[in-house]
Structure 1
Amino acid sequence: MKRSIFMLVAALFAVCFVFTSCKDDNEPATIAKVEYGLTLNVPLDVEGGSLQNATAVFTNVLDKTTYTLSNFKEKDGKYNAVLSIPEGTYNIEVKGSLTYKVNNQSLTSEVRATKSNVAVAKSAVEGIPSSTEIALNTYNTADGLVISEIYFSFSKTPEGKDYSDDQYIKIANNSDTLMYADGLAIVQSQFQTNVKNDYKPNVMPQGMTVEDIFVIPGTGKQYPIKPGEEIVIAFNARNHKEFNANSIDLSKANFQFYSSMFIEGVDANGEETETEKQNNNVPVLKHVYGDPDGRVTPNRNGVKAYALVRIEGDVETFKKNYEYKVKYVEAEDPTNFENEENYLMVPNKWVIDAVNLAVKSDHQWNVVAPSLDAGFTYWAEQMNDASSYRKAVLRKKNGTKWIDTNNSTNDFEAAAKPSYFEY
């Protein structure tokens, strides 16, 4: 009897030992936590910026566990924080807001940045944690809208005359979310890419100097743009085939610039013209800045920059706060006469997308900051190029998305066939 009890106890002990051993073999080792630092750098084109409400989320690539870091402290213009986190590989996403000044006006922009596959491990130096740096970028809530096509080059009538009223521009929603055109501004640069003067002060690192501003009307959510869709803004939303057999039908455009020089069919010389009457079925953009008579015709050679902008606050306050005095000598003036003008700039942080246009053989400089557009595109090889009629610039696509690297040389097909024309 005692022998049986002994054998039973021994068997139970053996079973327990086996199970215990199996459990120990399969149980994962505890991953050591380490101190890891993160440094945030404000955008290079921002002076005196103050970062607020910054939050960094570390996501483990393997198990998707997240760790949040928010106690950033400023030192020597950089923002630093340290967290305790298991060793591993992480994707980091940072969001926050940045307050700074442009033209002595205080601005606040959202900032964000990402960094992928960051290896987090124990530091080799005792007392100094391993770390990584991330450069922040400002962004606009309308990021995702891009200029997808510009056609300003004129067509020809069967009689060989220039026809300019069929110009248009297209704007696309390059995001995955529904966006709204309401309140979006389309601006034309003051400076030309074929004339480089020495402007003082040079505000380009802070803002885009503009000649004209047009704003899309709306109540805020009146004009949706679905992901992957485009809207068309015609210079004059008419069926131009009625007046020029070589032209196009823009009567179903979403909006029109419609310069006031066309009101009641009167041209710039005061002569009545049927072709320039308004299509009352298409909403008209508000011309909030520029020639008070509204006499705006985009240059057919394409020597200016165009941009999409979200103006913060009311337009009148904006115009008051961002007007600046500039002095310059025209590049080819032998007398070196110093001109003095009052210009208006749009803060770069308000710019959603910008495109430098130029004549290929006469390009002297880009008229927006490289952070907005580091290149240029064109439809004319040379000034008044006869082969440039009915030519446009078209943003390239990669699958279902438009290419947007902030470099128009790479992003656009130059001297392309306009999408509205049938050849």
Structure 2
Amino acid sequence: MKILPTIYITLLSTTAAFAPPPSSRTFNTLHSTTEAAIASTANDEVNPGDRDILVRCASGKQVERTPVWLMRQAGRYMAAFRQYSDKYPFRERSETPSMAIELSLQCHRAYGMDGIIMFSDILTPLPTLGIDFDVVKGIGPVITTEVRNVEDVKKLKDAESVNFDETLPFIREILTSLAKEAEDANTSLIGFVGAPFTLAAYTIEGKSSKHCLRTKEMMMADENGSSKAMSLFLDKLAAMIGNYGCHQIECGAQVIQVFESWAHQLSPRQFEEFAKPASQKAIRIMKEKYPDVPVIYFANGGSSYLELQRDMGADMIAVDWSVDMAQARKILGPDIPISGNIDPTILFGTKEQIEQAVRDCIDKAGGPGKHLLNLGHGVMQGTPEEAVGWLVDECKRYRGKEA
């Protein structure tokens, strides 16, 4: 029988800077609707090994079957999620513990992935350095703090002295509660951080950008010696992100994924010179303090320089959908654990197509239990909800070509 988590009814207050949370009556109504929308899956039997199968796999161990979780597994493809996203601004949802907890749990209750990931954003820790941001519906992230030169970087707060319990008090409350929920649900808890280059690019551009021209101008200035603002900014971000990952672990996260969401903006040379060293520093901070907690590194759009990711210092490399899994396995070599990499658009196909894609990915990665199944990017808005269930169920069922 599937273990259901505690139902959260009372909303907890968020920081005074944001709009007040919904009333208890509103939350109860939304929660009841959420429960009614949850579909049962074919994986109702409790297996004690499921509790840490994702953690063991991310640590590089061969496991009894291929574990699965999905990037953006909590998202707008779910009707239950949209009841919140259509009504409450992003930061209110992600920084109000009761809502963030509920949104983190919806997808696991519906599909039984092998991990619950905290509902949050890679930009969430930026205010700890004095960088202000918002996420505007229909526009995306908007960052108003200007970072263009060395003086701007020096004005930012000290990355080494950040007290995350003071600056981001909701994170401990969210993760501590989710850790208990994950234990009760016999699964793992995943935390995540944004990679330094990605956060730097968002900040420098002030929003999403097709070309990251300002960012690349700062990188060129760094290379020609006219300004070291980029290097200084990346180093500051790396220290903060590494410490933020440690904070998540201390709050209950059992795995940390590092998202280099803008790797597609980088040439191999730019990755090696700027993004890679900064991410390595952040990962090193986490691994030196918590060597037994696996760290996964994902460079979205970075498959063209996958060979440069062999020595990131992470326990596992996640790959995007633009490379064949067998080729990715060959490039990385047999000793580097791998995660990925089904094309998210497959979830708009038939049940048979989805199940075949799962089997192909598992086989090309080395067979059942040899890698961590995921999409090669996030679940797309508009994805049929039943398609996610088909993917998860087939991954848990598949035991290889001979089975």
Q: TM-score, normalised by structure 1?
A: 0.21
- Structure number with the bigger relative contact order (C-alpha 8 A, sep ≥ 6) is 2
Q: Which has the higher helix share?
A: 2
**Could you say which structure has the larger radius of gyration?**
1
Q: Which has the higher strand share?
A: 1
Q: TM-score, normalised by structure 2?
A: 0.22
